[in-house]
Structure 1
Amino acid sequence: MDENIIASDEEFIEDEEQVEKRQGVKRKYEDAVSQRDNDDEEEEEEGGEGSSQNNPGTDNSAVVAKHYNQLQEKGLAERFNSKIFYLRNFNNWIKSMLISDYLDRIKNSQQYGSPLRVLDMCCGKGGDLLKWQKGNITYLICTDIADVSIEQCRARYQKITAHDPPDRKSFHAEFFTADSTRDRLRERYSDPSIELNLVSCQFAFHYCFESPKQAEQMLKNVSECLRVGGYFIGTIPDAKDIMKRLRKAQTDTFGNDIFQIKFLSDPDDLPIFGAKYNFHLDGVVDCPEFLVYFPAFVKLAKKYNLQLIESVRFEDYFQMKVSRGKGLIEKMQAVERYGLNGNRSLSRSNEEEYKHAKDFLLQKGGYDNRRKCGTLSASEWEAASLYMTFAFQKVKGPIE
């Protein structure tokens, strides 16, 4: 078990009064949880893009479309009791830090008050809308393959901007259904001449690796209206790590009690495009996906003047950002509190899931029951560490 997921324990040392206060807050939270609406900062289902009634005859697009159109909204109480509650929050924290980082880079590179325009490709139900609002962007384009998701995204936008003055919206937005792997998005923009500062594609880019043509169309959509100096950011499964785990399993399937990957293509003869597998995540995703062979991604991106800036596995990204993002970790409940007295926010019967946290605390402070650390269960961490972040920058002219 990798200890990278263990957050600094110092912030979690509490005296008895603090413990009592925290438990009181937790009880109030649990009492109220069933009465609350869905939270706008919820983690979007991994594989964010959803539907297309527009392409009923296409291969995987129709499958993905149907899957995401049929996904049901889940209440906060149901999400809180899920086995992947902290995993989803952790993934959401990663997205928040990534988006915040590149919005800051853009703001620092242009004059104060300059417009900041964003394309949220495969936006799903709008799980990142609050991130865009808090990032003080000017304009947002939301597009997704699932028409049901787009309507939910539009409704969520209207909800979070409902109290803005009509002439001073926190940010303006447009929404439309499209398959970003097959349709030219620019033709659908209200202003086809728009210059974008940032394109974001979270937990969905892997769908375009069904074929070279789809990957090309996706990257053309990224680059076509992205201004020079702008960024393309996202999160994808790490194909290299997936193949490493597959070889270790010595079968076509691997996973644990919360996720499972089953290869539908021959693992011994995988194509660069179209390497298909089924990904099942507890109660969230059960949908065909495709490996993203990263060298091919980078090479193809160069064709569209997109230069790789960084690619970072989630466990490394956590270590890079944990100091700056501690407050947000707490706010978003991105890790679970674990203490030697067994007082955890979710009771788990399998102590082996938290052996790494117990060993960490014993090493740090002996049997001090006030000491806690932030962690994920071993199974959640195995799922989280499947992913990586990426960032490209639009540059002038051809890239060698």
Structure 2
Amino acid sequence: MKRGYEGTPSTSFGPPKSKLRYDSYDGSRASEDESFDNARRVADHYSARSNQTLEEREASPIIHLKKLNNWIKSVLIQLYAHPKDAVLDIACGKGGDLIKWDKARIGYYVGVDIAEGSIKDCRTRYNGDSDQQQRRKKFSFPARLICADFYEVRLDKYLHDDAPFDVCSCQFALHYSWSTEARARQALANVSALLQPGGTFIGTMPDANVIIKRLREAEGLEFGNSVYWICFDEEYSSKKFKSSSPFGIKYKFHLEDAVDCPEWIVPFHVFKSLAQEYDLELVFVKNSHEFVNEYLRRPEFTDLMRRLGALGDGNQDQSKLFCSMTLSVPLMMMMMALTQVSKNAGTLSQDEWDVAYLYLAFVLRKRGQPNLSGRNNNTNRGKMFLSEDDVEFIGGSHDP
């Protein structure tokens, strides 16, 4: 039987709202309704995306960007996940990172996503069903999957017996919480309440500084290249944004074969300050270009990049490509060498590299020291095989 749970509305918990006050946080019903509609639209978009075959995936116009993003996520996981860790995967989607967590030898996994279709696909991938063409051994960790809006409902009580988690992860999705201050606070409150002291919150999201810079460089309110475009509404025709209203700054984002839905600007200095209210302190933040520049120098991650094939086989004019990229000379030479030994066709294009510049990676740590002796035996909460009835639905995430 599917478990149901009516979560409470978007009210923050944890540290009080003492430092930050913004005009956009008015708690109005209209704002809540619009927020729900936007969240539903995003969920419907990702639910509707079908699983691709290997051939379809390799034919994607952004296949090397996808592989580069997978490399970035893999590096974050290898850096901060440890054997036997309990992991909370926020906006887990179709389970694309399950193999990464398995390679990190984690001990327990809880995936949460607002999109019912994505959660069902994640269950299928976890079970290794034939239509996923997984052809691999079963995952080594027990899992639990929950369909819920992580940015809308309190999960501290619901996941009390699973917490504390050692690692929380939110990949390319946290900006969807930034439509209102209430949702942004609920997201951080959930992370703080469920993460153990000393635990790590890792993630990736759009780089607001880059997006606003490109907006101001554009002639109009739209900019992009052959694989993406971003468009702002007329209300932002001045291309100026009030520091008193950092939430709800919406734009339309289209990325070929990936995304076509509204997103929200996340001014990182505001995100950092808000996170501090919930006992989450910044470890680092790096634009994706900076991230590649730093971690591709490490041999283990260089080998990982080669195996993932993000840079292709070097069939294109690599000297022209990499000289146009903002890389240090040693890194440029390393990337050129990698393309000569990779087995996949094509290579990372300049347009894909430009899209990568739109994103950043971050790591936060919860204040305090972990209480290793007081850990719950949370692995007993998960299962090694998940039936349809094992998928749990919280609040309004499941339409009857």
| Residue equivalent to 1:388 | 360
Query: Residue by residue, what CA displacement relative to the aligned partner does 1:346-385 show, whole Å, maximum 9, x if unpaired?
Result: xxxxx7x97334789xx999xxx99948862110111011
The answer as to 2:103 corresponding to 1:134 is yes
TM-score (norm 2): 0.73
Pairwise CA distance, 1:134: 0.7
Contact 2:88-2:168 at 8 Å conserved across structures: yes
Match of 1:73 in 2: 51
Aligned to 2:271: 297
1:155 aligned to which of 108, 119, 124: 124
Match for residue 328 of structure 1?
A: 304
Please list the CA deviations of residues 223-277 of structure 1 after superposition, one character each: whole Å capped at 9, or x if unmatched.
Answer: 1021111000100110001111111113111100101011135133453000000
Kindly indicate whether the alpha-carbon contact (under 8 Å) linking 1:67 and 1:287 is maintained by their aligned counterparts in 2. yes
Please give the alpha-carbon distance, in whole angstroms, between the structure 2 residues aligned to 1:162 and 1:248: 47
- Residues 219 and 304 in structure 1, CA contact (< 8 A), matched pair in contact too: yes
1:378 to 2:354 alignment: no
- Secondary structure at the counterpart of residue 289 of structure 2: helix
The letter of the residue matching 2:288 is F
- Which residues of 2 match residues 194-209 of structure 1 at below 5 A? 194-209=163-178
Matched-pair contact (CA < 8 Å) for 2:311–2:338: no
Task: Report the CA distance between 1:59 and its aligned residue.
Answer: 2.7
- Runs of 5+ unmatched residues, structure 1: 1-54, 108-114, 345-350
- Which of 94, 99, 105 is the equivalent residue of 1:125? 94
Q: In 1, are the aligned partners of 2:201 and 2:364 still within 8 Å (CA)?
A: yes
Partners of 1:263 and 1:277 within 8 A in 2? yes
What code does the residue aligned with 1:150 have? I
* Matched positions, count: 314
Q: How does 1:14-33 map to 2 (within 5 A)?
A: none
User: Equivalent of 2:229, from 245, 249, 260?
Assistant: 260
Indicate how the Cα distance of structure 1 residues 394 and 259 shifts in structure 2: closer, same or farther if over 3 A, else same.
same
Q: Percent identity?
A: 39
Equivalent positions of 1:241-320 (< 5 A) are 241-264=210-233, 265-266=235-236, 267-269=239-241, 271-320=245-294
CA contact (8 A) 1:275 1:290 kept: yes
Unpaired runs of 5+ residues, structure 2, are 1-32, 129-133, 370-400
CA shift in 2, pair 1:81/1:253, >3 Å: same
- How big is the alpha-carbon RMSD for the aligned residues of Structure 1 and Structure 2? 2.9
Partner of 2:199: 230
User: Is residue 232–residue 250 contact of structure 2 (8 Å, CA) maintained in 1?
Assistant: yes
Structure 1 residue 216: Cα displacement: 0.4
The verdict on how the C-alpha distance between 1:355 and 1:59 changes in structure 2, with shifts beyond 3 A counting, is: same
User: Does the 8 Å contact 2:64/2:312 carry over to 1?
Assistant: yes
CA distance in 1, matches of 2:104, 2:354: 31
- Pick the aligned partner of 1:88 from 66, 87, 109: 66
Provide the C-alpha distance between the structure 2 equivalents of 1:356 and 1:170, rounded to a whole number of angstroms. 41
* Cα shift at 1:58: 1.5
Alignment partner, residue 355 of structure 1 = 320
Q: How does 1:160-179 map to 2 (within 5 A)?
A: 163=137, 170-179=140-149
Higher relative contact order (CA 8 A, sep 6+): 2
Q: TM-score, normalised by structure 1?
A: 0.73
Q: Is the 8 A contact 1:56 1:62 kept in 2?
A: no
SS in 2 for 1:186: coil
Q: Quick check: 2:312–2:339 contact (8 Å CA) kept in 1?
A: no
Aligned partner (choices 313, 324, 330) of residue 337 of structure 1: 313
Q: Any conservation in 2 of the 1:260–1:279 contact (CA below 8 Å)?
A: yes
Runs of 4+ in 1 over 6 A off after TM superposition: none
